Structure 1
């Protein structure tokens, strides 16, 4: 015999349990969405690009050979365009990147805000390396501040490394009248520079997260990929974002 359907209204305990399940489900969905990397894939650039930044850039050296800067300037995918460029200028005591002069001139002609960087050799005098950079690089209004690229100790002590870095930075700041930017990776900064150079603008390399670099201090630029594609450049190129809006970016430029 078929049972009659019950017309009993669900009790308070049932409704409470249902409410708990709904809340748990909503929290789980919120946590899932929060934990997802906030990025978008751009086939034209060949990489995933962080979505919460509006100012994008690249950095180049002799390894990108002869760059067609007009093609770089004209490339656009979605709402992403290249808005600034860092260019290797010098290394050590006397070396200059063989493409620096051409890159510096042509990037400027294409209308890019430009930044020049020096690759630091910890075994050499920081002040003397600064003079190498100063001899080669004439910064002008609208350029980015000079950059110290420091990534290796080359076997010197942490104290000697920091002394050389400070000498380099002090000499550049005295000459150009602007605080230089430090480029390095997260681990190197935390191990060798943290606590003594925290007031310098930081350009940090970190490829393991898609939403932001894993570092506690403030940062200005984030190099998040080294495998991007850009029209006018043969081979892969590093991609970066600026941590701020257009007003913040303008405030950073040399005036």
Structure 2
């Protein structure tokens, strides 16, 4: 089986998500900077974002596909067909991984040459520090060996979770849009800390570590979030007063409404 040590990774498109993935792979030493190739529309910006970190800029998608073993499509969904068209034949011998939200296996089957091995995924931004989530569509055309290689690469930068096609959208919304909601909560909690006398930097630090620690505690124990909440709420204590205030403001229903709004927009 091919190992990551001699695997070259190519990005077609090198925007925020592609850069986050590349940074995470380098940080976690899954691959070295010299094993990463990328192309993008803006050549000067691409050079700046790759060369100073030891990665390889490529003039076009053809060069990326030629150099890479795993090709990651990281462009907007509406651009996929246009980007793939010139390299369709070349992709047949490669492992293709998509990070474009809303483009599942069956859609790629319409775009790609028959027999192309591909997998659709939805990563989130914390992959840049190796603490992300990568949602993978369970329906794919990779061989067992190819999937094992891709899983090894992606698991270096986050939790790899396979879901059925019908769950792909909402799983991507929860994990992909969730960082924005969590950031808003951290900011709001920090504002409250500052209002009551904490320095801004300290308030951010405490709120962020609290969110990170609580998430890791749930993952580690598999405890029901409601039970974790109850464990902090003493009868007649301070926490339950805050919980009650959030409930009166519709905290949980607001979060559910946010997910509903996103899914209805798709």
Specify if TM > 0.5. no
Normalized per residue, which structure has more strand?
1
Q: Larger radius of gyration, structure 1 or 2?
A: 1
Structure with higher helix content: 2
TM value normalised by structure 1: 0.33
TM-score, normalisation: structure 2: 0.32
